[in-house]
Each structure stands twice: as structure tokens, then as C-alpha cells.
Structure 1
Amino acid sequence: MKHRLVINDAIIILPGRISEKGYVVCEGGIITQIGQGYFPATESDEIINAGGLYVSPGFIDMHTHGAGGYDFMDGTVEAYLGAAKMHAKHGTTSLLPTTLTSTNEELLKTFSIYKEAKAKNTEGASFLGLHLEGPYFAYGQKGAQDPKYLRNPEPEEYNAILEASDDIMRWSLAPELKGAIEFGKVLRSKNILPSIAHTDAICEEVEEAFDAGFTHVTHLYSCMSTITRRNAYRYAGALEATYLIDEMTVEIIADGVHLPKSLLRYVYKFKGPDKIALCTDSMRGAGMPDGESILGSLQGGQKVIIEDGVAKLPDRTAFAGSVATADRLIRTMIGLADVPLEEAIRMITLTPARILKIDKTKGSIEIGKEADLVLFDKDININTTIINGKVVYKKTH
């Protein structure tokens, strides 16, 4: 790698504004200069002439199960690296590998594989940490999660899991389960984000959970309670609580399938770009053609069908994870939900960075931050992906 990376003739998406005909200079994996006009590069520099392409912060996917025919639950280094490489082709520079409900043996194996894969990952989206999804979910909101693994959180079990890995960054669970509030407080004490997911909670239970540190909602609208009746009385659910609690952050699968245009616009109107993170929640079918696939590990996963831009259970009663990539999420928010480009980008860069508390180093193009950058055209077709100042993907014509 040459001493410096210089990007000239770019439309730069900066915090709160877009700068025409600018440049970005990176040294040692860090953004060192940003300006207008052309930067006087030298022969020793690595030069990218953007030719009027947009330059954006790298996309951060805080919830993905895989891509490119690979699932993180496959339990192999190859799967981790293959999925990371496919996501990088679509502009993702950082991600959280996400688990599914499984045996504890599979989970413990995932921890060791993650460490090995992270050390070898030089050509794909970087790994920020692990996102554990389950097994502490409401049975009635299981979605595509395997019901035989669902259970309540028990200190003996979750403490053993927490002791087995220092790479867990977030954990999704249903806050109304017995022991969940106490578990959430344990997670917060370890700087792990407890997220509300696959839940039948009523509003009051979500409010209690929020006070205990459950400040984020996993894939809003998917597997989530809304208004219910109990003994003739109405109760608001987790969805209503999400909107009532102004500080609550959310993530949405903005593929245009999990959430239609009306709901995308609704979430955007009432939560806004600073509280919404776009996530793929992608399974192995992301970036792959339609047809049969497997959700979860190749050995113990469930058969699914990829069609109509989404993965479905074989009986088509529920979605089984998305096949979206980050660039598709942005196109959907702009084209379907009428969100301005700068705000759509913020929802997959700075907002997830703030939710994950990594915004001091990632999420925006600012001097001193890590040089994770993406070049794309007006239709969000990815041209170049740069991670830590290194080009890991370049579109070939």
C-alpha cells in the first residue's frame, strides 16, 4: 500500500451537508484532510479520481446473519470471510455477525471461529463484535427462529456465555420474560447493548425495560407486539412503546418487503434519521440468485425459499430473513420512502455508529476518523469500497 490515499473530484457526504467537487486524503488508515477543489497528489500517492461519484462514510450493518452463500452459523472461518467479502462489495465496511437461536455448543464454537476469522479478515467488511439474537424470545413471536431452543434467561447460563467471550457487542431478547430485566442490567454493566426483539411485551413492560438499559429495538415491526386485548381491556404493545419513548432507537429492514412504503415513511416521520439505523438482517442468500437456501447453519438450519426479493419459510407463512444488501436499503429509503440522500446515508453510517458507541472513530467523514469510505453513483451502485484506507473492492467494467 502506498503512503497516502487521495480521492479527488468527489461529491462528499459530510455530516449535515453534501460538498461538491471535493477531496479526501487518508494516511495510515485515518482521514487526514478534507477540502474543496483538487488535492495536489504526488507520484507516491495512491490516487482515485472519483469523476463526480459520491464519497460516503462506509456503511455499518449492525444486524446480519450472512451473505454470498455463507451464514455465520456455519461455524467456519470461510463463512465469516465469504460473507464479509460479499457485504463489502455492496458498500458495507463494518458489521456485526449475528447468531440465531442454537445449542450452546454451537454458540461457543462461534466465539472461537469469530476470533480466528477477525484476525484473518483483510478483504471484507470488518467485524465490530458479535450480535447474539436469542434464545430468550417469546414463543408467540418466534418468527423463523427455531422454537425448540427458546427459553427464559437464567443467570447460570448467560453468565457462562458472557464469560466465554469478550466479543459480544449486543444481545437481542424479549424483555417481558422472567429474569430478562435483571439480565439486561448485567449486559449494561458489561457495556453490551440489550435490544428488544421477538417480544409480546406490553407498553409498560417496555418502559420498565428501557429504564433498565434496553434502549434499542431489533428489526422494528418484525416479530413484535402491538395493541392487544386482555379481559376486554386494551393494552399498547412494544410498537406503541417504541414511539412513546422518544429516546428509543430502532433498526429497520428497509428492503421494501419487510416494511412497505407506508411503514417506512411512518417510521421516518416519527423517529427520524438520528434514531433509525438501517440493517440488512440478511441471511446467506444476500447477493445470491433466487431459489432454495438454508437459514442458519448448513448442518442444523431450516430450509427456506428466496423469491420476491426476500427469504420465506417453505410454507410461505413468514419471512425468514432478508436477502438485502446495504446499497439496496439506501435505494429503498430514497426511492420508496422519499428520504433525502444525506439522511438515508446517515441512517446506515453515523446513526448505527452512535447506537453502538463507536462514533468517535466511525460513521462520518471527519478528520481523525478511520478511513472507511464508499464511492457510488447517483443510483447507489457501488464503485469502490475502502476499509482502513485500503481498497478492498473496485468495480470492474
Structure 2
Amino acid sequence: MERLILTNGNVIRPTRIESGMAVVCRNGRIERILPGNGVTPEPGDRVIDARGGYIAPGFIDMHVHGGGGHDFMDGTVEAFLGVAETHARYGTTALVPTTLTCTDEELYRVFEVFREAGRCNKRGARLLGLHLEGPYFSHRQSGAQDPHYLKTPRREEYGTILEAAPEIIRWSVAPELDGALEMGRELRRRGILASVAHTDAVYDEVVRAHEAGYTHMTHLYSAMSSVTRRNARRYAGAVEAAYLIDAMTVEIIADGVHLPEALLRFVYKFKGADRTALCTDAMRGAGMPDGESVLGSLRNGRRVLIEEGVAKLPDRSAFAGSVATTDRLVRTMVGAAGVPLVEAVRMMSLTPARILGLDARKGSLDEGKDADIVVFDSRIHVVTTISEGHVLYTE
């Protein structure tokens, strides 16, 4: 592979910005980061001039369903590649394809297609592994998930799924369901991220879930219990548990719609950049114009309406996934929530990498790590996306 050199940029490291730097990449990895005047291009090198913009670690989207008119639940290689290529245009260098509640036939089809797509994905964000969102959710907190497919965890069922798809790296579950704690322990044993989601659990139930292996909260606030009454008494819910359990990590859909500015600031203040990942939770409407769309597969998905920068159920009673891209999340955290750029970028790169256990090779610009890089200007407008040394997108 040719040597790739990025020059004339402000390099965003985990805790600081280094101005006037160059990043030298070889064989898909970062070889050196040094002052721009310390590197001399050689014949055969590919040089990218950042033009005084920012050179940042590639964005990692740990929860995404679709984009560019495609959804992973479509169950085709074309859809997988279409989603990966769409999000690469906005700075995503790696992502975790996410399922919805569905038929067993659709789910197992996704497993097959994931493998095939991974072999021929040359122009899109890297597919890191699979995230199963459901079907073990609370009926009261199903949100836009199809309630017809909701189930209670049974070892023989989820065990069979896990054996069929070693590519699963995270699974979102409502931990108050019968059998969910046992499932959490099994996921932990296999090194799979167990995440609390679509849950009506109260604080004590989340504490027990955390002890059983649930260490992360899927799209905090969305489809999740807060303070509630039972037999006239008040109980803290899953949202409060996310703050009270210090070790619990969270992800937020920072599109400026799912959570208002005040809640974005609240999450940042009390969980911090090292325990808060940004995720798009994007459906097929990401990168597409407003209008009617489908959440989930074209065959069995739910009709939704895209307007005002978000997807909604047709009756506008609830959101139905976002149409965000990763660059929009970073812009929102900086512009609306007042988060320093370094920390907003960390929430979109190193923090999700750590949560997924991939930070030894991804998530920051450090020598020896994968050459996953995004170049953007002062408006956080992406001009170049590079994944493992391959230029996926450039203006």
C-alpha cells in the first residue's frame, strides 16, 4: 500500500489539539505524527492537504440501522454496502450494523449477508460486528420496535442465535424480563457488550442487571423508564440508574431532536466524555430528503415520516429513529451543548471504541493504530474520510 501523508492540519488527540502537524500512514496504520516541516514526501506518496482544518480520529457509530435509502434489515449486500458508503461521506470510518425486532427468517438472513458484505466492502465504513436490538424488550417501552415480535429471553433461543452468529458484539435487552439476568451473564462470558434498552426497569432492577453484566445503556432516555410510581411509592427508573451507577456507560442520539440542548448538557456534565458515546441510531432516511420512508425492512418494516430532521411514526406520536450522521452529532454537541471540540470528537471515536473493546487499535490518532481518519473544516464539514488507510471519500 502506498504511503499516505496528511499535512497542514490541526491534529485532534484525546485531550488536546496539536497545530501544524502531519500524519504519516503506511500499510493501513498510523506510522508517525510529527510537525509538518518534519516530513518530506517521496515519489509514490499520496499527500492530502488538510488546508488548516482538523485531522481527527475516524468516527465510530456503535448503533446504526441504515442510511442512503437502505436498511440493514433489507437483508441484501447492496443495502449493507449502501449504508456503509453513505455514512462514510459524513466521517464514519467504522460502524456496528444494528437489527430490529423481526422474524427469525429475517434475523438469520442478516447474519448471512453481514459476512458476504464484509468481504466486498471496499468503499464504505468498516463493519465492526453486529448489534442485536431486541427482541427481548418491554411492551410498555417498545417505541418504534414492532411489538408483534417481542419475546422473553430463553436460553435455548438466544444460545442458538449466539452460536449461529459469532459476529454479534453487542445485544440490547430489557433487563427486568424473566431470564434477562442469566442472559447478561452469558453475554459477559462470551465478551459481548450487554446493554440496557427499551426497558421499564426501576433502579434496583438495573443495579442487579449491572452486576449480571449489563454495563451500557442504549440510547439513554429513549424508550426508557424514569421516576415512576408503584403502589403510590416513587421509584427511580433506568434513567436515574444510568447516573447513579458510576461505571455504567451510555450512548445518546445527539441530533438535537431526540434530546434537547439542556439534556445534552446534563448528560455531559454528569456522565462525562469518557462514559458517553454518541450514536446516530440512523434509519434509511439518513442522507435522504424529507418525506415518507420505512423503518426496518422494505418487506416487513413500519411506515414512518421524515420531517424536521428526524423520523416519526405516521401519527407523530413518537420518534422512529434518527436521520442523523456522525458529523451532525459532533456539531450539535459543540454548537448546542457547548462541549469542547476535543471532547465531542472523543465521544464519537475513542469512547465508543473503549466501550466496544476496540481501543487498542481504533479511536484515536496514535502511532501503531489503524489509520482511521476524518478531515473536517471549522464548521465540522467533512472533506475526507479514511478507513484503515483507504480513502473512502474526499471532496
TM-score between the two structures when normalised by the length of structure 1: 0.99
Using the alignment, how far apart are the partners of 2:75 and 2:179 within structure 1?
29
Superposition CA RMSD, Å: 0.6
Q: Cα offset for 1:389?
A: 0.7
Paired amino acid for 2:9: A
Q: Which residue does the alignment assign to 1:87?
A: 87
| Contact 2:14/2:343, CA 8 A, preserved across alignment | no
Using the alignment, how far apart are the partners of 1:390 and 1:132 within structure 2?
28
Q: Which residue does the alignment assign to 1:22?
A: 21
Provide structure 1 residue ranges, at least 5 long, that are not aligned to the other structure.
none
Secondary structure of the corresponding residue to residue 215 of structure 1: strand
**2:130 equivalent to 1:130:** yes
Q: Which residue does the alignment assign to 1:325?
A: 325
Q: Cα offset for 1:43?
A: 1.9
Q: Which residue does the alignment assign to 1:156?
A: 156
Paired amino acid for 2:286: A
Q: Which residue does the alignment assign to 2:299?
A: 299
After TM superposition, list the pairs within 5 Å mapping 1:36-75 onto structure 2.
36-38=35-37, 39-75=39-75
After TM superposition, list the pairs within 5 Å mapping 1:1-397 onto structure 2.
3-38=2-37, 39-395=39-395
Secondary structure of the corresponding residue to residue 214 of structure 2: coil
* 1:347-370 C-alpha deviation (Å, 9 max, x unpaired): 000000000000000000000000
Q: Cα offset for 1:49?
A: 1.4
* 1:84-117 C-alpha deviation (Å, 9 max, x unpaired): 0000000000000000000111101100000000
Using the alignment, how far apart are the partners of 1:390 and 1:248 within structure 2?
34
Q: How many aligned residue pairs are there? A: 394
Q: Cα offset for 1:156?
A: 1.2
Q: Cα offset for 1:37?
A: 2.6
Q: Cα offset for 1:330?
A: 0.4
* 1:318-347 C-alpha deviation (Å, 9 max, x unpaired): 000000000000000000000000000000
Secondary structure of the corresponding residue to residue 258 of structure 1: coil
Q: Cα offset for 1:382?
A: 0.5
Counting aligned pairs with the same residue, the percent is 62
Using the alignment, how far apart are the partners of 2:7 and 2:75 within structure 1?
41
Using the alignment, how far apart are the partners of 2:345 and 2:129 within structure 1?
22
Using the alignment, how far apart are the partners of 1:393 and 1:135 within structure 2?
35
Secondary structure of the corresponding residue to residue 265 of structure 1: helix
Paired amino acid for 1:153: P
Using the alignment, how far apart are the partners of 1:111 and 1:275 within structure 2?
29
Using the alignment, how far apart are the partners of 2:373 and 2:64 within structure 1?
20
| Contact 2:225/2:238, CA 8 A, preserved across alignment | yes
Secondary structure of the corresponding residue to residue 383 of structure 2: strand
Paired amino acid for 1:348: M
